[in-house]
Structure 1
Amino acid sequence: MKKPSQSNWFSGLLALLFALLLFFNANASGNISNMSGTNQVYDEMLYNIPVQVEYDQAKYFVSGYEETVNVHLSSANRIQLNLEANEDTRNFQVVADLTKTPLGTSEIQLRVKGLSTAVTAEIEPKTITVTVENKVTKTFDVEPQLPESIEAEGYKVKKVAVSPKTVEITTGEETAKAITRVIAPLSNVKQSADTIKQTVNVQALDDKAQVLSIENPAPQVKVVVDLVLPSKEVGLTISPTGSPPADIDHYTFNLSTQKVEIRGTKSVLDAIDSIELPIDVSNVKSSTKRTIKIPTNAEYIVSPEEVEVTINPVFAGTNTSFSQTSGQSATTSDTSQVLPAPEPSSEKTTSSSSTSSSSSSTSSESSVENEIEKEISSVPAN
């Protein structure tokens, strides 16, 4: 039979072994968990990354290649990936090395330069096609190119000025031989503009009117074009507004001009037959003269811009307009407008009819008496 002290020693040793086993098992689980966490990979797709072309820029001219590509980044380090994905903190560049590329057209492999070792990159597309030429500079005359809308809308070109009249074009040797024209293309103008003033980049064209590659930025010229806008005459239509006094039946209006000239594009002019001229007649009780601005908008120009209008009130029960200040009858014109007014009462109509009948009877009696006197005077005396 074992002693109690020996039994306690054995139990303690067994407990220690179990504790160590549990400790190492826990650490192993934690390490496995950490390892699985570090295996996560993050991705980022970047678009329109510029391609840096490396070549002797003083000697050669390069054209015909795609200037941007897409780049797919991946990394287990999220912070480092974010630094490369952010344009402000980015270290890498997409490079096309042409230092050993011969003259002519070639396909060049792209590579990433300056990227962190913790991040990997895939370029889409992986290659670009470039044309390498000897660099030359030549002088060409500049020809302004007006937008097609100028002719379509009926404009007439009065004068064109280009400054400077000639420019130096830097391009490839073979491309320079293909240039037949150098143009200054103008953009569309405002519909009511009679002068175009634009500063534009020139373009080099071949005999098929195709745009050729030249050094960027291209030379600029200033173009000024004086235009004659299409025009036509339209009438003015008076549109009375406001509330006339109660004793006013209607108004007549005298205009200093019956028609005005409008200028604009053909499509705008075709849609206008007359211009409505609003005139406020509130509280107008005597002949009143006003200067009214003719309504217009950005689509057309009107001339003259103002018209002088004389407003003549016609009082109820009369056919004449009067000036309260002078007592004289006011002259009316053909371009008169009538404001709505209350209809005359039936009593006035009856009174007018009676007066008219009475006048007719009196006239008839007077005619009969004259005839009798003539007959008596024609009888011979005995």
Structure 2
Amino acid sequence: MRPTKFWNTKAMYRLLSLVFALLLFFYVSYQRLGSTRVSEKEVADSSLINNKSLTLKVPLTLNFDSNKYYVSGYPEKVKVQVTGPNALVTALENTRNFEIYADLSELGPGTHKVKLKTSGFNKELSVALAPETIKVKIATKKTAKFPIQVRYDSGQIAKDHVAGDPLMSQQTVEITGAKSDVDRVESVVANLNLPTNIREAYSRTVLLQALDKKGTPLNVSLSPETVKVNLPISEATATKEVKLELTKENNGVPGKTYTLSTETKTVTLRGTRSALSRIKTFAVPVSVAGVNSSTTKTVELSPNKSGIAAVSPATIQVMITVSETEENSGTKAIDSNETEALQRSSSSEKATSSSASSTAKSSSEVQNETENSRVSSTEQSTESTESLSSSVTDEAN
């Protein structure tokens, strides 16, 4: 067979096809093997290199008996830094299924330093807290209710305008805290900041504050923390003349009685018609603190009720008359009565002694008379016996 004829046969084509198929198979297999080795190496490297660090601020949880104790002085949130595999850190960030807490269940009243604890973190994650320890103050818990007072600067209100009674979304507030702090609460106020020269009603949501006698805010919890206040403001056009009343304010000197008087009998009020219709008299407090003797004071008059813009006159003269109390003035009479009683008692004792002496003397006399009677009776009996004996003798003779 000629060579040229062999290359043109079907057997030759089949052989060549088989060779090329084998070559293509080995090439593809080699490429896949190389690619698999590279992927495995990349995965291994990424598991070692692709770590992620995350910093979060999370709420701090306290474990304690909230019905019995009140805890203060701790931070509301704690900074936590988490480092670890990318997938774990990402999952932690999305779920937030972990907790930072302080266990106070075994602690009593007082100030304590406590180490924070964690839960819900994967073991492959590294966790760092800031701070790691906290200082807390544990005290006996107390809850009380207080009325809410609205405070505002009436000087911000436009001339010839006055504010009415403030309307609030809530009249009382519940205070919870350490018993020592709750006992010091004097008032709960809502400070309403009015704009300058205001002429119409003003409404705002105001933060509440619990204050002591000196006006210092106290570290207690309020529920609710805010209140909505609506302050009506109207034009003051009406006037009314009312009777003036003086009232004693503060305690005076012990043992003194105070009488207040003034030549001003009435005052004129200017305000809204609705406010004036509710007022019958105008009370003026006069302080008598430290007043030892009668004196005259100048007392300033100012609006003391909502809806009243002005009072006329602005000042009055008040006479304070000081006198001794009835208890002190009656001390001498009581003493003289006691002296008379003592004298009467002494005279009575003497009369009793004399009466007893007379009684004793009478008894002695009675006793002597009895003895004399007995002697006389005995003598008479003896004489009778002798007489009888003599008579018998004579008869015998």
Q: Do the structures match in fold with TM over 0.5? A: no
Larger radius of gyration: 2
**Whose helix fraction is larger, Structure 1's or Structure 2's?**
2
Provide the TM-score with structure 2 as the length reference: 0.43
TM-score by length of 1: 0.45
